[in-house]
A and B are shown apart, each in its own frame.
Chain A
């Protein structure tokens, strides 16, 4: 996996993950200035872009729920945050999402989906399948992106909904759009 991450981060990184710069531009336009993340191959280019941006702070997490609490504190303190994760991490967030519902706080997460398209690892399937229901059960609105052409407008819309209308929103990037996970040894 580390090799796959490295490959995506090199050379044709933007061609390998064209969604990254689209999401990045929308986050910048919406004045998002913090990123919490659990490392993920699909997000590796976006993580790199945000980490390299002056004025954007970032926090690497041990588990995804931490990003909910940190993002709540950031919002309380006046800074907008985004949480980047994979669908396998959504279940880890459940109780901490009560913080957002109880405080009616904005929340934005961008989730790379696993277990739904050309998935070779059966262990990814249960949480991938449960991701929308798990989020919705805790009051998080789901917005799916299946086509790259829709991504820019969707990101613009969800940042407004989250930060201007105090909504908790998860953008699910479909595995079909992201493409098959590349397991390259060399």
Chain B
């Protein structure tokens, strides 16, 4: 990793996610398998993080469920372009949900980073922000600078006009592994305990 905010035509993913989660208060987070799960963990483990290590295409929908169950808390999914591409239909489902407390943050490097760096549909020309607009997300932003990251941090940390969809343009490349807990049952129980729910 370089120390600059821009790297190879995109933002550094670790510092971008760290910026989006800095000063976090009551935000609840789900993460898409692969690098977004590592990025969110690297920004600081948190009991309000629901890490996915599988169930590809499900991260934003898990966040929708959390948002529907906890309408007074802001909720964000952090995922990658590849993971979201597997759940494109889910974007239509989220867009019509009316969940004002939900944000979907797609860390988009145009590649399937976890599987050898093959070009993704995004890298081959599919514009995820245009998809989000087409299905009716009321808030759609493409984030390419530190200033826009900071604006996005403010937006996802509160109940807004959402659901919001944010495409963060990140550089393609290797990052050090930062691996959170993998036991899904423990992740679930910790998350529910954080919300004061019976740990059943």
Q: What residues of chain A have their CB less than 8 Å away from a CB belonging to chain B?
A: 34, 57, 59-63, 65-66, 68-79, 81, 95-96, 98-99, 102-105, 164, 166
Contact = CB atoms under 8 A, between A and B. Distances in A.
A103 B66 CA distance: 15
A9 B64 CA distance: 29
Interface in B170-200: 184-185, 187-188, 191-192, 195, 197, 200
A78 B192 contact: yes
Interface of B: 28, 30, 50, 52-59, 61-70, 87, 89-90, 92-93, 96-97, 184-185, 187-188, 191-192, 195, 197, 200
A51 to B, nearest CB: 14
Contacts of B192: 76, 78
24 contacts: A59-B97, A62-B93, A66-B61, A68-B58, A70-B65, A73-B50, A73-B62, A75-B188, A77-B68, A77-B70, A77-B195, A78-B70, A78-B195, A81-B65, A96-B55, A98-B54, A99-B52, A102-B53, A102-B54, A103-B184, A103-B185, A104-B185, A104-B188, A105-B188
B65 to A, nearest CB: 2
Contact of B93 (A34, A66, A72, A105): A66
B200 A70 contact: no
B69 A62 contact: no
Contacts of A99: 52, 54-55, 58, 62, 184
Contacts of B68: 34, 57, 59, 70, 73-74, 77, 79
A81 B68 CA distance: 11
Contacts of B63: 73
Nearest to A57: B68
Contacts of B200: 164, 166
A112 to B, nearest CB: 21
A166 B188 CA distance: 12
Contacts of B62: 69-70, 72-73, 76, 99
Contacts of A75: 65, 69, 188
B57 A76 contact: no
Given A103-B184, A103-B188, A73 B65 contact: yes
A60 B92 CA distance: 10
A158 B197 CA distance: 22
B104 to A, nearest CB: 13
A77 B57 contact: no
Most A-side CB within 10 Å, residue of B66, B191, B197: B66
Contacts of A69: 55, 57-59, 61-62, 64-65, 90
B58 to A, nearest CB: 4
B184 A66 contact: no
A74 B65 CA distance: 4
9 closest A-B pairs by beta carbon, nearest first, are A73-B65, A77-B69, A62-B89, A69-B58, A69-B61, A102-B184, A103-B184, A79-B69, A73-B62
Contacts of B54: 95, 98-99, 102
A66 B93 CA distance: 8
A95 B56 contact: yes
A65 to B, nearest CB: 7
